[in-house]
Amino acid sequence: MRWRFAPPYQKKEGKMEFTAHKTEDGKIQSVKEHLEGTARLAEEFAAGRLTKLAETAALLHDIGKYSGAFQQHINGSPTRVEHSVCGAKECKALFPKNSLSAPLLEYCIAGHHSGLPDGGSAADSEDMPTLSARMKRKGEDYSAYKEELEIALPDERELMELLKKAGSKEELTELYCFFTRYVFSCLTDADFIDTERFCSGKLSRGGKGDFEKALTAVEEKLNSFKADTKVKKARRELLLQAVENAESLSGINILNMPTGSGKTLCSLDIALRTAVKEKKKRIIYVIPYTSIIEQTAEIFEDIFGDRVDILQHHSNFIPDSDDENSGTAEKIKRNCENWDSPFIITTTVQFFESLYHYKGSRLRKLHNMVDSVIVFDEAHLLPLKYLKPCIRGVGFLTEYFGCKALFLSATMPDYKPLFREFLPGTQVKELITDKSSFEAFRNCGYVNIGEKDYEAIAAEAEKYDSALIVVNTRKAAHKVYDLISGRKFHLSTYMTPEHRSEVIGRIKALIGKEKITVVSTSLVEAGVDLDFEAVFRELAGLDNILQAGGRCNREGKRDNGRVFVFETENRLKGDMGIRANIAKSLLESDITSPEVIEDYYGRIFDFNDKLIKENSIYRMAGDTGLYSLPFRKYAESFELIGADTRGIVIPRDEKSRGLVQRLEYGEMSVMRALQRYSVSVYGYQLDEILKMGIVREINGVLVLEDMSRYSDKKGFVYSESCDDNYIMC
């Protein structure tokens, strides 16, 4: 069968018109329209920071579509055409040999579909995915772009002045890579949105964000609390102290307050005050666990009402694709959040992969972090191996992009030496300097009861009117739950957010009225406001033990509460095992004291000193120059990214089934709402689930079909051995 080609391009008013996109109904967007539209958006997104670099990247990114081969492809030819590298080649031709801007633009343009590539080396063969290899490939003639576009090269002085601030060669390389990702973010988001507008019209984005009205609502909420107990008086004192010290925030700020002291609302008050005073564009809350996100979002939404729209972003339903020849409609279906909302609550993984990933679908959020207040809740949970890039990334945002960062924890490590080492010259401010009020929150005693089996713990817990048992894995939680008699509840992230909220609501209503026992993974240790008579915590890190203790006699209404620390034959491994052993050695001390907490983290940092200091893209690249930067290799080695999850929607009620039905009709706008009805699984688990055939894919979203796999008591139970070797929330 012979393929019949449409004309390679259309004629318009006597001129040849080159097509960039074509919809199924025949609507056409010219290459010139797309490049100019993308350039306008990229310039807008850059907002005065490396603006001309972003605009130039956008003008050049699709000039490969001016080739006859691409025009034949878009009109029906099955021949695949690599158009992305053409703009990168043109950069090399346009810029002087030693230009700092050229490599940055080449990485961005060549990777605008498949992601920022590794630079590679001169020895790379043409079939490799590196920038060096792709630049060697023989392409089609795209010179027709010169008849429609004028490219004015950006002045390099702005980039040079910014890079001069780097204090070492390593910091210089890290900063250059950060600026590259930032320009890439502006380009890929602009490219996506211009294409989206052509295909679907100007869709509604962003949301309401009246920070002044929100601040008024928060102040009213805080003022409604009566300081009529020792604990409540201490909360008020700490709030007033923190707010006073936050009148003028530094780039990086520390809010160290005990569990149960009201640090969440305190941080919200400070974030809103800063946003109003300094006219910040958005507030971003970065939280390690999805369960804490849900609880935090519920609290904030209840206070805000309709004054501020909150975007929860913590689950990726749709996998990435490296195929730059995917149809435009498919690209629209793969829409990922770009954080254009005024108030965002997201996970640590989502946040830091938006700084260090290589794919456009992840990095496109980066430019929307500019001029934000960023709150890192449970900051002690920043992963040790990635402390250096995490701290440095936050430092770049505060130093170069107008952000204010607030590190928040009840068990705060002493990060100041690391800030000084990785962010020389950055000012760090403590918002709590008088810690005399901390004593009011020591409402329970910690008892080490040694090694016990789960049967003994279950029997002991049933002696109390309200008891919480926190274990290290979901498998253990299932086992202990089955051992409990009487009124009992189970909590884990294998329950959907909506389901968990229902269960937590029932638990709150029953505590103090009926005898109950709750079995949970570590998700209950932060952001869940529960108050038990006794808590049993399986041995883990000191922070886990203290956070679990925060659910015991939380309001100080009892004479004293008891937190029993026990050990089982199921020993933790790796870093968690090291943390547990250090915690075990400190259990005979007053583990709630700031000195013991500092000692705990000091030992962890000392043990991992080499691991912490060696992690950087500069160390991976070596001193090999700007054309050898390993963007993709470094991103793939970043375990925060590798450990990312895939969401599975659980249609367990009428509302969630209705949302799934709308998804089947192509309504991708339901994606945000579906997060309330999903569970997340790691890649190794997803492989097993797919083999079992219990899920189906609807427009890229996985939906559970076999509802017998979801229990109203325990949530998603697809395998009895699903997490033998993993710590799960």
What digits encode the pLDDT tens for the residues 558-570?
878 899 999 999 8
What percent of the chain shows pLDDT beyond 90? Answer: 65
Structural domain for 513, as ranges: 443-591
Given 198, 219, 244, the domain boundary residue is 198
- H or E element in which residue 490 lies: strand 488-491
Shared-domain flag, residues 432 and 447: no
Shared-domain flag, residues 83 and 180: yes
Residue 568 contacts residue 454 (beta carbons within 8 Å): yes
Shared-domain flag, residues 460 and 419: no
- Least reliable range by pLDDT among 21-30, 286-295, 510-519, 675-684: 286-295
What three-state secondary structure class fits 261? Answer: coil
Distance of CA 683 to the CA centre of its chain: 17
Shared-domain flag, residues 130 and 186: yes
Shared-domain flag, residues 379 and 477: no
Q: Which residues pair with 324 in a beta bridge?
A: none
pLDDT band at residue 315 under the 50/70/90 scheme: low
Residue 515 to residue 464: CA distance in whole angstroms: 8
Shared-domain flag, residues 672 and 566: no
Q: Tell me the CATH number at 181.
A: 1.10.3210
Question: Between residues 393 and 5, which one has the greater pLDDT?
Answer: 393
Q: Tell me the CATH number at 402.
A: 3.40.50.300
| Torsion angle of the four alpha carbons 141, 145, 147, 148, in this order, in degrees rounded to the nearest 10 | 160
DSSP string across 206-252: S--B-HHHHHHHHHHHHHTS---SHHHHHHHHHHHHHHHHTTS--SE
Shared-domain flag, residues 79 and 165: yes
Q: What is the pLDDT of residue 116?
A: 97
If you average pLDDT over each of 184-188, 520-524, 548-552, 621-625, which comes out highest?
A: 184-188
* 205 belongs to a structural domain: no
Which amino acid makes up residue 207? G
What's the sign of the alpha-carbon dihedral 6, 11, 16, 18?
negative
pLDDT digits (tens, 9 = 90+) for 51-104: 999 999 999 999 999 999 999 998 888 888 889 999 999 999 999 989 999 999
* 532 belongs to a structural domain: yes
Q: What is the pLDDT of residue 204?
A: 60
Cite the DSSP H helix spans in 533-623. 542-549, 574-586, 594-607, 609-614, 617-621
pLDDT band at residue 45 under the 50/70/90 scheme: very high
Q: What is the pLDDT of residue 206?
A: 64
Shared-domain flag, residues 305 and 172: no
Given 416, 438, 460, the domain boundary residue is 438
pLDDT band at residue 643 under the 50/70/90 scheme: low
Report the number of distinct structural domains present in the chain.
4
Shared-domain flag, residues 555 and 678: no
* Count of beta carbons in the 10 Å neighbourhood of residue 594: 14
Shared-domain flag, residues 184 and 227: no
Q: What is the pLDDT of residue 25?
A: 82
Residues 6 or more apart in contact with residue 528 via CB below 8 angstroms: 291, 292, 295, 504, 551
Question: Between residues 716 and 669, which one has the greater pLDDT?
Answer: 716
**Structure token digits, residue 266:** 């305190």
Q: Which residues pair with 535 in a beta bridge?
A: 468, 563
- Least reliable range by pLDDT among 4-8, 211-215, 279-283, 622-626: 4-8
Q: Tokens 């305190």 correspond to what residue?
A: 266
Q: Tokens 């590794």 correspond to what residue?
A: 118
* 393 belongs to a structural domain: yes
pLDDT digits (tens, 9 = 90+) for 140-177: 899 999 999 989 899 999 999 999 988 889 999 999 99
Mean pLDDT of 481-500: 93
Mean pLDDT of 407-427: 89
DSSP assignment letter at 537? E
Residue 79 to residue 76: CA distance in whole angstroms: 9
pLDDT band at residue 719 under the 50/70/90 scheme: confident
| 10, pLDDT greater than 90 | no
Crossing angle between the packed helical segments 101-110 and 169-200, to the nearest 10 degrees: 40
Given 151, 172, 198, the domain boundary residue is 198
Shared-domain flag, residues 282 and 398: yes
Question: Between residues 228 and 462, which one has the greater pLDDT?
Answer: 462
Shared-domain flag, residues 43 and 181: yes
